C-alpha cells in the first residue's frame, strides 16, 4: 500500500448504529487530519493530530470521536449520527518540520450515508 | 481570518482550448497556496503549490499557476485542456512556517470543470 488509504470506501448506517472509519498513511508523516466534504460547501477541517496529539477540534459534535493510536493510523468513531452527517469524509497527512508544514496528501475518502 | 474565493462554480471548455480557473485569497501573513484536483469518487490530488520564489509555478499534468500578491490571486492555467481534465478543482491557503499544530488549510468551494469534446 502506498500513500493514504481509507476504509471502508462506502458506509451506510442508521442513526442508532456505531461505526468507525479508518485511515492509514504510508508516508512517514507526523500529522493527520479528518475533513468533511459536503455538496456545495468547502472542505471542513474536523480534527488535526500532530505527533499523535490532538491539536485541533473544529467545534465538531461529540457524536464524532477521533482516535490516533500512532502516527500512521487515524480513526473516526461514529455514534448516533444524523442524516445531515451524510458526506464524504477525507483523511489527509502531512509532514511538520522545523521549516514549517508541507502539503497534505489525501486519501480517497469514505462516502457515508446516514439513514 | 483566512478565506478563499473561487468565483466560478462551473466552467465548460472545449477540448484543446485554454483554461483559467480563478482563486482569490485573504490572508494576513505569508500565504502558502495550493491547487488540488478531485476526480469523482476520489480524494484530492495536489497539482501545485507556492510559498516563495518565482511567482509562476509549474505543476503536474501541464498545469501552472501565477501568484499575484497585489491582486491576492493565485489563478490556475492550462494552455490546452484534455478531456481527462474534467474534475473539480480546489484552491487552498495555509500558513507558511512552523505552526506546531498541523497545517490548517482553508479551501475554496471548488470549480467544477466540464470538457466538451
B34 and A108 within 8 Å at the Cβ level: the answer is: no
List the one residue out of A82, A101, A68, A72 whose CA is nearest residue A38.
Answer: A82
Question: Does residue A8 have a cis bond before it (omega within 30 degrees)?
Answer: yes
B49 and A90 within 8 Å at the Cβ level: the answer is: no
pLDDT at B97: 56
Taking only the tens place, the pLDDT of each residue in A34-61 is 999 998 788 899 998 887 777 777 789 9
pLDDT at A39: 84
Averaged pLDDT for residues A87-101: 81
pLDDT at A23: 98
The continuous run of DSSP H or E covering A21 comes out as: strand A18-25
Residue B112 has pLDDT above 70, yes or no: yes
pLDDT at B67: 94
pLDDT at A81: 94
List the one residue out of B39, B32, B92, B94 whose CA is nearest residue B61.
Answer: B39
Taking only the tens place, the pLDDT of each residue in A5-34 is 999 999 999 988 899 999 999 999 988 999
Taking only the tens place, the pLDDT of each residue in B7-30 is 999 999 999 999 999 999 998 777
d(CA B5, CA A111): 26
- Label residue B89 exposed, middle or buried (CB < 10 Å: 0-12, 13-18, 19+): buried
Could you tell me which residues of chain A have a Cβ less than 8 Å from any Cβ in chain B?
A: 4, 6, 31, 33, 40-43, 45, 48-50, 55-56, 90, 92, 94, 96, 98-109, 111
Q: How many beta carbons lie within 10 A of that of residue A111, not counting itself?
A: 16
Nearest CA in chain A to B103: A101
Averaged pLDDT for residues A71-91: 95
pLDDT at A56: 73
pLDDT at B12: 97
Q: Which of chain B's residues have a Cβ under 8 Å away from the Cβ of A50?
A: 100-102
Q: Which of chain A's residues have a Cβ under 8 Å away from the Cβ of B33?
A: none
Q: Which residue has the higher pLDDT, B46 or A97?
A: B46
Is the distance from CB of B33 to CB of B57 less than 8 angstroms? no
d(CA A54, CA A31): 10
Instruction: Give the number of A-B residue pairs with CB atoms closer than 8 Å.
Output: 78
A43 and B107 within 8 Å at the Cβ level: the answer is: yes
Taking only the tens place, the pLDDT of each residue in B26-85 is 987 778 899 999 998 888 999 999 988 889 999 999 999 999 999 999 999 999 999 999
Is the distance from CB of B86 to CB of B10 less than 8 angstroms? no
Nearest CA in chain B to A91: B43
Amino acid at each position: 500500500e502506498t500513500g493514504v488509504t481509507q476504509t471502508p470506501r462506502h458506509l451506510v448506517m442508521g442513526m442508532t448504529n456505531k461505526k468507525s472509519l479508518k485511515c492509514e498513511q504510508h508516508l512517514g508523516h507526523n500529522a493527520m487530519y479528518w475533513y468533511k466534504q459536503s455538496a456545495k460547501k468547502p472542505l471542513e477541517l474536523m480534527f488535526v493530530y500532530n505527533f499523535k496529539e490532538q491539536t485541533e477540534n473544529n467545534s465538531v459534535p461529540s457524536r464524532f470521536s477521533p482516535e490516533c493510536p500512532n502516527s500512521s493510523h487515524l480513526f473516526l468513531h461514529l455514534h448516533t449520527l444524523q442524516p445531515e452527517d451524510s458526506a464524504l469524509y477525507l483523511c489527509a497527512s502531512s509532514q511538520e518540520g522545523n521549516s514549517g508544514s508541507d502539503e497534505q496528501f489525501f486519501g480517497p475518502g469514505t462516502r457515508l450515508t446516514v439513514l | 481570518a483566512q478565506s478563499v474565493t473561487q468565483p466560478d462554480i462551473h466552467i465548460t471548455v472545449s477540448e484543446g482550448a485554454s483554461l483559467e480557473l480563478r482563486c482569490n485569497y485573504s490572508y494576513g501573513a505569508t500565504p502558502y497556496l495550493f491547487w488540488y484536483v478531485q476526480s469523482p469518487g476520489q480524494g484530492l490530488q495536489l497539482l501545485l503549490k507556492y510559498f516563495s520564489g518565482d511567482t509562476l509555478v509549474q505543476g503536474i499534468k501541464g498545469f501552472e499557476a501565477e501568484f499575484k500578491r497585489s491582486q491576492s490571486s493565485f489563478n490556475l492555467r492550462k494552455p490546452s485542456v484534455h478531456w481527462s481534465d474534467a474534475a473539480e478543482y480546489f484552491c487552498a491557503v495555509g500558513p507558511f512556517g512552523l505552526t506546531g499544530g498541523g497545517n490548517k488549510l482553508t479551501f475554496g468551494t471548488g470549480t467544477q470543470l466540464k470538457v466538451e469534446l
